[in-house]
């Protein structure tokens, strides 16, 4: 169910109504049923039921067992079995093709002419989210951070809470158990606040993201026609398209969750204001970063192997390098995991994994050197212009990495990158070349205007909730903004059937 679709709107309204009309005791059951509907919407089959049940049952049983056998070897064994089952199912459903492609490449390398065929597997929506969430549940029980859930239906709700299935955020059982199962009173203020957040999310997706997408899709699909500056603009547009879509989705589900009274962790905090890639990733998909740190990076860094490596490097090189090498090794592994999580293709592993690692690595390596040089030649680093330069640089670096994320293959990504160098700066100035790639003059106007709105709101949000600020204003302004938002979305949103006046035969026959 697309978050911007009418079916989702109907689904959300029915869920919220039942949630507050039925006795408060049933609230979590309403959520469970709604979540199951969302999970299996247009995707109900024996296969999908089995894959969901396998994860649920194994998490439930093993979670109980880990707790019972606390601080014994058995607990560790159960934990490993649990993780293996969850990851196994995830890998089988999502990464089979990645495996097949890799094997085929290797076969090719050894001049074996046999090639495996790629497979088509139906996985449930949100499988990459609930798999990691259930792993964190088991690990947390093992670590003693949380108690295991005795009621399997409650655990099912934790696993499938519908708002997070679409695009996160990652939740942890410890933080959610009270939120999900306790009784929630209806609150008018929460309703208003939640609705405004949903509107804002819709604005980001329908007005900005979809519009950017029209341009990006046109250019990337016709690289022969659109190159040079067309590509440059597409490359610069894509991160913004991704951000407005992703964070807009988050806004919608957070808005719904807010109406229900269930707090979720934030996933984005104005990432494009970051002055370095390291900072950027602290503000982009925050809960994924937190998950990986908690369950991959720290344990790796703390592991015996890494500590041995640490000592080894310390003795061989210096204390500083001794620290850095295991750190970067663990970091590299973590980034590969992020890449893999984003999807079963090499473009993802490179685009959202390895390149990100390289940038962060270089920042760490070159940062101090650049600072030294700046000091020597008298370039001030604490002025606005330098910070602006660093912010723009971060955006550019992210844009370049996202070429791989967006491309259909590595070859395609390289082709996109190379097409930057086609010389055609005049398209920016001549009559209307630039308006031929999916967005016309009027679309560009709307786009620029809405990006300015986005910028202002993001800027304001850095000093506290924009909605709180809005609700403090007088009624005329407050309602004016909300009406403007509604009609901005309804009129300028890119949804429904494309309008083609040629289709209208009024005054023609």
Q: Does 508 contact another protein by CB under 8 A?
A: yes
Contact 177, 158 (CB under 8 A): yes
Among the listed residues 24, 293, 387, 459, the single contact to another protein using CB under 8 A: 293
Q: Does 296 contact another protein by CB under 8 A?
A: no
Q: What DSSP string describes 352-415?
A: IIIHHHHHHHHHHHHHHHHHHHHHHHT--SSSHHHHHHHHHHHHHHHHHHHHHHHSSSHHHHHH
Site for another protein in 309-338 (CB under 8 A): 310, 319, 323, 327
- With a CB cutoff of 8 Å and minimum separation 6, the contacts of 278 are 360, 363, 364
Stretch that binds another protein, among 218-226, 406-414, 437-445, 457-465 (CB under 8 A): 437-445
Among the listed residues 33, 81, 152, 301, the single contact to another protein using CB under 8 A: 301
Among the listed residues 64, 299, 422, 460, the single contact to another protein using CB under 8 A: 299
Radius of gyration, alpha carbons of the chain? 25
CA dist 139 and 114 (Å) reads: 41
- With a CB cutoff of 8 Å and minimum separation 6, the contacts of 12 are 256
Tell me, residue by residue from 171 to 200, as one string, x for binding to another protein by CB under 8 A and - for no binding.
-----------------x------------
**Residue 70 CB, nearest distance to another protein (Å)?**
11
Contact 353, 336 (CB under 8 A): yes
- Considering the complex, state which of residue 271 and residue 493 has its C-beta at the smaller distance from another protein: 493
Q: Does 483 contact another protein by CB under 8 A?
A: yes
Query: 56: closest CA among 147, 142, 160?
Result: 160
Stretch that binds another protein, among 54-62, 237-245, 296-304, 398-406 (CB under 8 A): 296-304
Contact 166, 126 (CB under 8 A): yes
CA dist 275 and 377 (Å) reads: 21
Q: Exposure string (b/e) for 185-216, b if CB count within 10 Å is 16 or more?
A: eeeeebebbbbbbbbbbbbbbbbbbbbbbbbb
Q: Does 509 contact another protein by CB under 8 A?
A: yes
**Residue 450 CB, nearest distance to another protein (Å)?**
13
Stretch that binds another protein, among 53-61, 97-105, 240-248, 479-487 (CB under 8 A): 479-487
CA dist 95 and 176 (Å) reads: 29
Q: Does 362 contact another protein by CB under 8 A?
A: no
CB atoms within 10 A of CB 76: 13
Q: Does 302 contact another protein by CB under 8 A?
A: yes
**Residue 399 CB, nearest distance to another protein (Å)?**
27
Stretch that binds another protein, among 207-215, 396-404, 447-455, 478-486 (CB under 8 A): 478-486
Question: What phi and psi, each to the nearest 5 degrees, are found at residue 135?
Answer: -65, -45
Among the listed residues 2, 89, 144, 340, the single contact to another protein using CB under 8 A: 144
Contact 310, 495 (CB under 8 A): no
Task: Copy the structure tokens of residue 81.
Answer: 């079995």
Stretch that binds another protein, among 210-218, 249-257, 396-404, 498-506 (CB under 8 A): 498-506
Q: Does 505 contact another protein by CB under 8 A?
A: yes
Task: Copy the structure tokens of residue 213.
Answer: 């997408």
Our measurement of the distance from residue 376's CA atom to the centroid of its chain's CA atoms, rounded to an integer in Å, reads 41
**Residue 408 CB, nearest distance to another protein (Å)?**
28
- Considering the complex, state which of residue 140 and residue 458 has its C-beta at the smaller distance from another protein: 140
Interface with another protein (CB under 8 A): 6, 139-140, 143-145, 188, 293-294, 298-299, 301-302, 307, 310, 319, 323, 327, 440, 442-443, 479, 483, 486-487, 490-493, 495-499, 501, 503-509
């Amino acid at each position: 169910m697309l978050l911007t679709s009418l079916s989702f709107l109907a689904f959300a309204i029915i869920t919220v109504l039942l949630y507050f009309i039925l006795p408060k005791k049933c609230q979590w059951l309403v959520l469970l049923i709604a979540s199951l509907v969302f999970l299996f919407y247009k995707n109900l089959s024996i296969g999908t039921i089995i894959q969901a049940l396998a994860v649920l049952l194994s998490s439930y049983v093993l979670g109980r067992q880990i707790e019972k056998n606390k601080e014994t070897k058995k607990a560790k064994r159960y934990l490993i079995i649990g993780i293996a089952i969850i990851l196994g199912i995830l890998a089988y459903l999502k990464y089979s093709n990645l495996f097949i492609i890799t094997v085929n490449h290797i076969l090719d390398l050894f001049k074996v002419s046999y090639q495996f065929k790629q497979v088509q597997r139906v996985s449930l929506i949100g499988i990459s989210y609930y798999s990691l969430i259930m792993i964190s549940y088991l690990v947390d029980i093992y670590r003693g951070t949380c108690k295991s859930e005795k009621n399997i239906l409650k655990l099912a709700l934790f696993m499938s809470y519908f708002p997070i299935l679409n695009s996160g955020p990652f939740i942890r059982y410890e933080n959610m158990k009270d939120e999900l199962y306790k009784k929630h009173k209806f609150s008018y203020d929460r309703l208003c606040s939640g609705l405004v957040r949903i509107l804002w999310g819709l604005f980001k997706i329908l007005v900005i993201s979809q519009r950017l997408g029209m341009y990006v899709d046109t250019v990337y699909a016709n690289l022969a026609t659109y190159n040079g500056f067309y590509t440059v603009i597409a490359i610069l547009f894509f991160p913004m398209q991704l951000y407005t879509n992703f964070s807009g989705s988050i806004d919608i589900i957070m808005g719904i969750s807010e109406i229900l009274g269930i707090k979720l962790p934030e996933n984005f905090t104005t990432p494009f204001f970051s002055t370095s890639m390291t900072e950027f990733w602290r503000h982009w998909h925050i809960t994924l970063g937190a998950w990986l740190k908690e369950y991959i990076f720290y344990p790796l860094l703390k592991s015996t192997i890494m500590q041995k490596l640490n000592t080894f490097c310390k003795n061989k090189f210096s204390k500083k390098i001794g620290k850095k090498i295991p750190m970067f090794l663990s970091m590299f592994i973590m980034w590969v995991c992020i890449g893999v999580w984003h999807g079963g293709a090499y473009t993802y592993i490179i685009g959202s994994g390895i390149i990100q690692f390289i940038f962060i690595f270089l920042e760490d390596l070159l940062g101090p050197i650049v600072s030294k040089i700046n000091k020597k030649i008298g370039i001030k680093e604490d002025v606005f212009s330098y910070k602006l330069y660093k912010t723009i640089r971060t955006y550019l670096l992210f844009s370049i990495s996202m070429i791989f994320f967006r491309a259909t293959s590595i070859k395609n990504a390289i082709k996109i990158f190379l097409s930057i160098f086609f010389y055609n700066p005049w398209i920016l100035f001549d009559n209307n070349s630039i308006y031929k790639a999916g967005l016309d003059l009027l679309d560009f106007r709307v786009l620029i205007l809405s990006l300015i709105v986005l910028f202002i709101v993001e800027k304001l949000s850095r000093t506290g909730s924009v909605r709180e600020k809005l609700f403090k204003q007088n009624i005329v302004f407050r309602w004016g903004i909300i009406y403007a938002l509604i009609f901005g979305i309804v009129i300028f949103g890119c949804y429904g059937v494309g309008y083609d006046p040629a289709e209208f035969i009024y005054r023609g026959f």
